[in-house]
Chain A
Amino acid sequence: MKVTIESLRSDILKDIADISGENVAECYQCGKCTAACPVNQAMDILPHQVLRLLQLGLVDEVMNSKTIWICASCFTCAGRCPRDVDLANVMEAVRVLLLRERGASRIKAEDMPEILRKGMPEQGIVSGFRKYAK
């Protein structure tokens, strides 16, 4: 990991800020978001670390993480953040950029009959496609 002036000025950081509407510099690393997160055990980078990496312009670490796909958009972190950072929005912005620009879809239409057969409600299927596919 190397922090450079270029990485701090990258377009992609600006895109994340625009799409999420959040300013990652507001975060002061207290860790309340991570403590609140119900899926932190399954994550490779913890919620507060996502923000630290983005503050340092280390976007690739975040984009290549499992964490952004494990975040369940449960909004618990945002409710506890003393700096009013909405991490769920930041996670979404990173996912959206990967899905839109790098074709990173995680589910396929072919998989759906099997998932539907298990009784998954329509709401789940639509949510899955909205979150994991373009």
Chain B
Amino acid sequence: MRYSYYPGCTLKTSAAVLEESALNAAKALGIELVEQEEWQCCGAVFPLATDEIASFLSSVRSLDAARSAGEKLVTICAACHHVIKRANHVIQSDGEVRDKVNNYLELDNYYSGQGEAIHYLEMLRDDLGFDKLAEQVKEPLTGRKIAAYYGCLLLRPAKVMQFDDAEDPSIMEDYLSALGATPVEYPYRTECCGVYLSVNNEEIAAGMVKKIINSARRSGAEAIVNACPLCHYNLLELQDKTPQGEPVLPVYYFTELLEEALGVKREVEEKTR
């Protein structure tokens, strides 16, 4: 299996662990993720204002390059995936935007949304198959009670993202089961963590994080996994700490557990912050 891979800015910087673990695990699974030669920041948030057309250019460049290579475009960061998938939907459904973007980009071939953007988890579920994934697990995470945190960007808007049932998703729990862990379902797994409110409204974001963390802990989770660097930061930094200064609930990227279960965990240097 070979894919075009779009990393995004944060996976090359503060969320390097997410990229490294995902690529390492993909290699162990025999999946080739080929980083695109030229990619630019997706813009981090999808432009909700209908007149912000320039924000689509980066996504369309990457989608078109993947289309030309005859490959699906895989992202690991939930935010990049959200932006690129929605941009593709706008190109497919809005002729005016489509023409403007094409006129500006002067691509070799007119781009009308033929590319396919998928998230790493969808690649594992739909292309590899969680049953096949389970067969490759060497060190099952038996007995580990893990809470999956979905957040917003992978699920909503449901009609466009088509990732899973937005009100009652199961892909991450199924993934955890394939790794041998015991997934913990809890009420707040699809609630917003506060996203960018933590930039200048930290207290509000901290209140949202508290509800999520408490909900997961009450349901018996011993750790929480996610797929988004900003969720990761909010869940980790804004949650309550133990008297020793440790987070009350450890937070991991979903790919860190994958490496572990596949038996290819690397020695990760302590991040210096």
By a CB distance below 8 angstroms, the chain A residues around B192 are: 38-39, 72, 74, 76
* B49, chain A: closest CB distance, angstroms: 5
Of the listed stretches B110-118, B178-186, B229-237, name the one at the interface; the rest are far from the partner chain. Answer: B229-237
5 smallest beta-carbon distances between A and B, as pairs: A128-B199, A74-B192, A92-B48, A75-B156, A126-B44
Residue A102 is within 8 A (CB to CB) of chain B in the complex: no
Binds A, one of B8-16, B30-38, B168-176, B239-247: B8-16
Q: At the interface, yes or no: A78 with Cβ under 8 Å from chain B?
A: yes
Q: In the complex, which residue of chain A has the Cβ closest to the Cβ of B212?
A: A38
Give Cα distance in the complex from A85 to B123, angstroms.
32
User: Which residues of B from 1 to 32 have beta carbons under 8 Å from A?
Assistant: 8-10, 13-15
* Interface SS, B side: loop
A121 at the A/B interface (Cβ < 8 Å)? yes
Tally of contacts, chain A with chain B, CB under 8 A: 131
**Contact of A70 with B157 at beta-carbon distance under 8 Å, contacts A79-B166, A123-B10, A131-B45 already known:** no
In the bound complex, CA of A91 to CA of B90 (Å):
20
Whether a CB of chain B sits under 8 angstroms from the CB of A11 is no
Q: Which chain B residues border A4 with CB–CB below 8 Å? A: none
Is A89's CB within 8 Å of the partner chain B?
yes
In the complex with contacts A21-B50, A130-B45, A124-B233 CB distance below 8 A: yes
The reply to whether A127 and B230 contact each other, CB–CB distance below 8 Å, is yes
Min C-beta distance of A94 to chain B, whole Å? 10
A89 B48 Cβ-Cβ under 8 A: yes
Interface flag for B140 (CB, 8 Å): no
